[in-house]
């Protein structure tokens, strides 16, 4: 097979993880994501006293895994990790919004953002304890 043929199939078959630039890119996105989260008055209180280095490491692993990277999330079960925090559906939507912003700022294609959003958005039932007020 010609080298150019191989290259083309690599492009066609690469994971979302590879497409966005792998570990360095995802680490940067997650760093920006938590910058947005802790700067948000609606959310900052939840993260007081949380060891952010460990949290970022786990979030990088989770995002990498859902993007098809060679990484396995080994943090706590998401329901256990968020239990008792009283996270509302509105808080959850705001957090997902910040992740979408961080991905968008990094130039990640909207199709990939859609897949990441769907995968992580699917964790809502495990994380949210207080239904939306509709406000």
Q: Which residues are annotated as a binding site for heme?
A: 58, 82
Binding of ligand HEM by 81 (CB under 6 A): yes
Is residue 56 a contact point for ligand HEM (CB under 6 A)? no
Looking at the Cβ atoms of 22 and 58, the one nearer to ligand HEM is 58
Out of 16, 17, 59, 64, the residue judged to bind ligand HEM by CB under 6 A: 59
Q: How many CB atoms lie within 10 A of CB 116?
A: 21
**Is the CB of residue 91 less than 8 Å from the CB of residue 56?**
no
Select from 10-18, 22-30, 87-95, 102-110 the region that touches ligand HEM (CB under 6 A).
87-95
- Exactly one of 19, 36, 43, 89 binds ligand HEM (CB under 6 A); that residue is 43
Q: Side-chain half-sphere of 99: how many Cα atoms within 13 Å? A: 24
Produce one character per residue of 9-30: b if its CB has 16 or more CB atoms within 10 Å, e if not: eeeeeeebbbbbebeebbbbbb
Cβ 26 vs Cβ 118: under 8 Å: no
Per CB under 6 A, 120 contacts ligand HEM: yes
Residues at the site binding ligand HEM, with contacts judged by CB under 6 A: 43, 46-47, 50, 55, 58-59, 62, 75-76, 78, 81-82, 87, 91-92, 95-96, 120, 123, 127
């Amino acid at each position: 097979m010609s080298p150019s043929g191989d290259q083309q199939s690599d492009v066609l078959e690469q994971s979302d993880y590879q497409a966005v630039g792998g570990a360095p890119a995802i680490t940067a996105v997650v760093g920006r994501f938590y910058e947005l989260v802790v700067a948000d008055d609606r959310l900052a209180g939840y993260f007081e006293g949380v060891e952010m280095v460990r949290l970022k490491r786990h979030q990088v692993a989770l995002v990498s895994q859902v993007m098809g990277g060679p990484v396995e999330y080994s943090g706590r079960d998401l329901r256990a990790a968020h239990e008792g925090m009283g996270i509302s559906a509105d808080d959850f939507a705001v957090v997902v919004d910040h992740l979408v912003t961080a991905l968008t700022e990094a130039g990640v294609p909207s199709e990939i953002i859609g897949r990441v959003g769907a995968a992580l958005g699917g964790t809502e039932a495990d994380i949210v304890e207080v239904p939306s007020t509709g406000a």
